[in-house]
Amino acid sequence: MTMPAEEDFYPSRIDAGETITARRDPVVHGAGTACSEASAALLSRYENNGFFQLDDLFGAREVAEFQEEAERLRSARTLARRNEVIVEPESNSVRSIFDVPCFSDVFDQLARDARLVNWARALLGDEVYLHQSRLNYKPGFSGKEFYWHSDFETWHVEDGMPRMRAVSMSIALTENRASNGPVMLIPGSHRHYVSCAGLTPEKHYERSLRRQEYGVPSTTGLETLLGDREIAVVTGQAGSVLVFDCNTMHGSAGNITPYARTNLFLVYNAVSNALRRPYSGQEPRPEFIARRTGIEPLIPRAATRV
Residue nearer to a second copy on the CB measure, 44 or 179: 179
- Pairwise CA distance, residues 120 & 168, whole Å: 9
Contact call for residue 30 and a second copy (CB under 8 A): no
Classify residue 7 by its DSSP letter.
P
**Dist. CA 158–CA 164, nearest whole Å:** 14
- Residues in the interface with a second copy (CB under 8 A) total 25
H-helix or E-strand spanning residue 266: strand 261-270
- With a CB cutoff of 8 Å and minimum separation 6, the contacts of 7 are none
Footprint (CB under 8 A) of a second copy, residues 105-164: 140-141, 145, 147-148
Residue 253 touches a second copy, criterion: CB under 8 A: yes
Binding residue for a second copy, selected from 39, 118, 212, 257, defined by CB under 8 A: 257
Decide whether 60 or 178 has the Cβ nearer to a second copy: 178
255 binds a second copy (CB under 8 A): yes
For a second copy, the closer of residues 227 and 297 by Cβ is 227
Name which of residues 213 to 252 contact a second copy (CB under 8 A).
219, 222-223, 226, 231, 233, 251-252
Tell me the closest approach of the beta carbon of residue 256 to a second copy, in angstroms. 5
| Dihedral angle, C-alpha 119, 161, 170, 112, nearest 10 ° | 50
- Distance of alpha carbon 119 from alpha carbon 128, whole angstroms: 10
Closest approach of a second copy to the CB of residue 254, in Å? 5
Strand 146-149 versus strand 128-138 pairing type? unpaired
* Closest approach of a second copy to the CB of residue 94, in Å: 17
For residues 11-25, one letter each, b for 16 or more C-beta atoms within 10 angstroms of the residue's C-beta and e for the rest, the string is bbbbeeebeeeebeb
**Complex with a second copy: residue 165 or 261, whichever CB lies closer:** 261
Q: Please, are residues 205 and 158 in contact by the beta-carbon 8 Å criterion?
A: yes
Nearest distance in Å: CB 138, a second copy: 12
Interface with a second copy, residue 20, by CB under 8 A:
no
CB 197 within 8 A of CB 11: no
Q: Are residues 290 and 131 in contact, defined by beta-carbon separation less than 8 angstroms?
A: yes
Bridge partners of 20, per DSSP, are 194
Smaller CB distance to a second copy: residue 202 or 230? 230
Dihedral over alpha carbons 242, 250, 44, 223 (to 10 degrees): 160
Residue 188 touching a second copy (CB under 8 A): no
Complex with a second copy: residue 26 or 254, whichever CB lies closer: 254
Nearest approach, Cβ of residue 181 and a second copy (Å): 7
Residue of 40, 41, 178, 306 that binds a second copy (CB under 8 A) = 178
Nearer of residues 59 and 258 to a second copy, judged by Cβ: 258
Q: Which residues bind a second copy (CB under 8 A)?
A: 140-141, 145, 147-148, 177-179, 181, 184, 219, 222-223, 226, 231, 233, 251-259
